[in-house]
Amino acid sequence: MTERRTKHRAGTVDLGLRGEKVKLGDHIAYFWENNTQFEEAVGFLLVGIRKGDHAVVFGHDDANKKVVDLLRRKGLDTDHLQTSERLTVITGGPSGDRMLGHIGETFQGAVERGSGCIRLLGNIGWSKPGWPDDLDILAFESKVTGAAKQFPCVVMCMYDVASLSGSIMVHGAYETHPLTFCGNVLRENPFYVGVDEYLERLKTV
């Protein structure tokens, strides 16, 4: 790890939501139930882009389009941001490891171009065509926490409370994210399970 990354990690990052602050390397589950809450989450990217951070929109096609459209409605030139390599849009892939590798390559490229903070907003395509099965995605989510510590980044994954199953909410959101944003409050998550233990549990599912 470079001295520059360590210096950034020592500080705090404006989450862009309710005045909350986080640290570089944090992995957050954001729970939403309506369009207002979805739109508020996009503020996480908006404040970062305005500060010069690199933004990554990761998820299924419908959600990615919705996020990019919201950024555009907030006055950002999303086409220019993409061509100037300050905004990256990534969809799913056939395996969790491949998705993690693609994200890692994107983050590494941003670091090499001088980015001091990368923000990823994720909307995972649970049961979507072209995405891995649920067990593979659960393993992917558990690995993201450790991977995020290797970069000057903040990763926030959005969970649709109204449409996802209880199993996905428990095993996908609560058990794989050290922090949660729920009820307009950021909290440390007491239900988080470390990656090694979590992956062992998946073997018995």
The tens digit of pLDDT for each residue in 100-137 reads: 999 999 999 999 999 999 999 999 999 999 999 999 99
Domain around 86? 21-202
In a domain? residue 124: yes
Task: Give the tens place of pLDDT for each residue, 45-95.
Answer: 999 999 999 999 999 999 999 999 999 999 999 999 999 999 999 999 999
What is the structure's pLDDT at 45? 98
Query: Which residues have C-beta within 8 Å of that of residue 117, sequence separation ≥ 6?
Result: 8, 13, 24, 48, 51, 53, 54, 152, 153, 154
Query: Which residues have C-beta within 8 Å of that of residue 44, sequence separation ≥ 6?
Result: 15, 16, 17, 30, 119, 121, 154, 156
**What pTM, to 2 d.p., does this model score?**
0.93
Q: How many domains does the chain have?
A: 1
Beta bridge partners of residue 122, listed in sequence order: 58, 157
- How far apart, in Å, do the first and last CA atoms of the chain sit? 36
In a domain? residue 8: no
Residue 68 sits in a domain whose CATH number is 3.40.50.300
- CA-to-CA distance for 182 and 185, rounded, in angstroms? 5
Which of the 8 DSSP states describes residue 77? Answer: -
- Please state the rounded mean pLDDT for residues 178-195: 94
Whether the predicted pLDDT of 158 surpasses 90: yes
In a domain? residue 3: no
Mean pLDDT of the residues in the chain: 93
In a domain? residue 13: no
In a domain? residue 122: yes
In a domain? residue 189: yes
In a domain? residue 15: no
Query: Which residues have C-beta within 8 Å of that of residue 35, sequence separation ≥ 6?
Result: none
In a domain? residue 46: yes
Whether the predicted pLDDT of 10 surpasses 70: no
Retrieve residue 20's tokens: 């909350």
